[in-house]
Structure 1
Amino acid sequence: MSGRIDVHNHLIPPRYQARLDERGLTAGGLPAPAWSEDLALAAMDAHGVETAIVSVSTPGVHLGDDAEARELARHVNEYAAELAARHPGRFGFFATVTLPDVEGALAETAYAFDELHADGLILLANVDGRYLGDPEFEPLLAELDRRHAVVFVHPSKLPGPAADGIPPYIADFLLDTTRTAVSLVRADVIRRHPNITFILSHGGGFIPFAAHRLAMTMTFDSGRTVEDFLADLASFRVDTAQTSSPTSLPAALEFFGADKVIFGTDWPHASNSGVAYFTQRFAEFDLDATTRRTIEIDNARALLPRYTALHA
């Protein structure tokens, strides 16, 4: 075991999966992978992960009804907290909330942090086509800023129909992440709420490759400069899930810097073979020992101090 802290690791409580099955819902077109406590621990051991910060993937808990979403969020979060309590140091969790139900999300945020001691929140990149910079979500963002919260941002199904033959998880997820990051920057959330730490999934989508184009084109209807937009885009943290390749990882390190790149696997949705593929690419990547430890352990410890003693 290498002592890695994995900030992109999913759990699938059986009752939650049953609700998705009832409605024929999937995680962006992916069939439900097998998940259990024992399978999760075995995968962690196989991939050198000492601590997994688990979260529920897309489609989240709001399946069309506010009351159901509140009940399901409470169940999922208590399930995650109990998992963490049974395995101190092996599991933490990012709590799920009820967006677009903002009132419910505020209530669940308070419960998750104050009673369950969550490590942060997971927010989907878009909710019914509304991205995270939408003014409707401002009360939640203000509360998360007050709490100096860590927010893990996970892509979801793009608004509009999927392209024939291209399930959302293949390419759309990367665009969804990029869209919500641009939404947060254009709405000035990054500067209004500097105490929120956003972690973007999958290396930040297209941002490392397209940052200068994104920043330049954002100036077309703004009085801000390219440099302003680049600084805001570079302020995000990103995980390495499905990003540790010879083409993607150098771009993420170049644009965000090693101090903002955090280890992630995307298990079990990435599958054991998928996680093994990218974890092996990461192991083979030419990094000095200090940078490797920074990505695998220290950046997560800086954001999640409860794990500092465990990964000293």
Structure 2
Amino acid sequence: MSSARRVDVHQHLIPPAYREVMDRHGATAGGWPTPAWDARSAIAMMDRRSIATGVLSISSPGTHFGDDTEARAVARGANEYAAELAKDRPDRFGFFAALPLPDVDGALAEAAYALDELRADGVVLMSNVRGRYLGDKEYEALWAELDARGAVVFVHPDAPPMPMLEGMPAPLLDFPFDTTRTAVHMTLNGVMSRHTRMKVILSHAGGFLPYAAWRFTVGARFNPGTTPEGVLADLRRFYFDTALSATPSALPSLLAFAAPGHILYGSDFPFAPEEYGALIDSMLDGYEGFEPGQSDAIDRGSAEVLFPRLASA
């Protein structure tokens, strides 16, 4: 492998209490079976795949199952569980705090607690919550707070508000679409232009955003106050992880589009079968089109800029 010091910004945890809530609600990650997970198996996987530190996050469907009070409790429990892992092994784990959107007041309170008290490395947001995408004006107070803090925001896809295609669980087909949709929604609604201190990471190489970014700039015709040049500049403000996306067709498009230093390593463990993740790793390691220093930046260097505490790890 190219490095024994990778920082994995797309790695999930499934606390026992969170699994119980998912099971009680009959919830899945877009029809994908919930895998087994524990911290020991996560560290063993990281050792096999040259990952020094995994920044953990709750995956789809997030923490809100219809009730604000329950969602606040679910988010708090998951965040305190993750904080204990990071406190015990800060060299191996960090975490993005889960927030109980669409409850904005609850999300603001949890962000403050997680970032100030639990020392979270950032926050994780689902790409949509019951069809409400992240550029929604109702979320502006949260974006303003995260920007004021210069927070790192990890956007993870969720199933869009439409039926799944038979035989294709949402993570295989719909998740890349939903990541792209929410990123464009944020951009055209001015989230990225108004809030330039925060850093927003898109999962899975941004869906198909790098491939179709120039097409999306035509949206400026229908959104007063925007220009094609401004839309493109704001789309390039996003960061991207390589989870399941360092393939011979996807990686060149990502490298051609992303701003320097805006590509980060991701594994998507444990939802991605490890044999498939290892295959993607081999494609990343074997890619011959990197500019000097680009591979090391993806493995670790760019993450050290976003998470300075890891620079000395």
TM surpasses 0.5: yes
1:185-224 matches, within 5 Å, as 185-224=187-226
**Conserved 8 A contact 1:208-1:251:** yes
Counterpart residue type for residue 110 of structure 2: E
Counterpart residue type for residue 18 of structure 2: Y
Partner residue of 2:180 out of 178, 185, 195: 178
What is the SS of the residue equivalent to 2:211? Answer: helix
Q: 1 CA distance for matches of 2:291 and 2:228?
A: 32
Q: What is aligned with 2:307? A: 304
Partner residue of 1:38 out of 37, 40, 57: 40
Q: Per-residue CA shift, 1:200-246, capped at 9, x if unaligned? A: 00001111110111112342443532211111111100000011111
Counterpart residue type for residue 133 of structure 1: G
Q: Which segments of 5 or more consecutive residues in structure 2 lack a partner in the other structure?
A: none
**Conserved 8 A contact 2:188-2:226:** no
Q: What is aligned with 1:99? A: 101
Q: What's the CA shift for 1:28?
A: 1.3
Q: 2 CA distance for matches of 1:263 and 1:37?
A: 20
Q: What's the CA shift for 1:15?
A: 0.9
**Conserved 8 A contact 1:29-1:167:** yes
Q: What is aligned with 1:260? A: 262
Q: What's the CA shift for 1:163?
A: 2.3
Q: 2 CA distance for matches of 1:143 and 1:221?
A: 25
Counterpart residue type for residue 206 of structure 1: F
**Conserved 8 A contact 1:258-1:295:** no
Q: What is aligned with 2:296? A: 293
Q: 1 CA distance for matches of 2:196 and 2:223?
A: 23
Q: Which segments of 5 or more consecutive residues in structure 1 lack a partner in the other structure?
A: none
Q: What is aligned with 1:113? A: 115
Shift >3 Å, 4+ stretches: 220-223
1:23-34 matches, within 5 Å, as 23-34=25-36
Partner residue of 1:71 out of 70, 73, 90: 73
Counterpart residue type for residue 28 of structure 2: T
**Conserved 8 A contact 2:237-2:259:** no
Q: What's the CA shift for 1:166?
A: 2.2
Q: What's the CA shift for 1:23?
A: 1.6
What is the SS of the residue equivalent to 2:200? Answer: strand
What is the SS of the residue equivalent to 1:238? Answer: strand
**Conserved 8 A contact 1:80-1:93:** yes
Q: What's the CA shift for 1:160?
A: 2.3
Q: 2 CA distance for matches of 1:148 and 1:229?
A: 21
What is the SS of the residue equivalent to 1:169? Answer: helix
Counterpart residue type for residue 22 of structure 1: R
Aligned pair 1:241/2:243, yes or no? yes
Q: 1 CA distance for matches of 2:202 and 2:234?
A: 13
What is the SS of the residue equivalent to 1:308? Answer: helix
What is the SS of the residue equivalent to 1:275? Answer: helix
Root mean square deviation, CA, Å: 1.1
Q: What's the CA shift for 1:30?
A: 0.7
Q: 2 CA distance for matches of 1:22 and 1:157?
A: 19
Counterpart residue type for residue 60 of structure 1: G
**Conserved 8 A contact 2:188-2:219:** no
TM-score (norm 2): 0.97
Q: What's the CA shift for 1:134?
A: 0.2
Counterpart residue type for residue 311 of structure 2: T
What is the SS of the residue equivalent to 2:244? Answer: coil
Q: What's the CA shift for 1:260?
A: 0.6
TM-score (norm 1): 0.97
Q: 1 CA distance for matches of 2:221 and 2:244?
A: 31
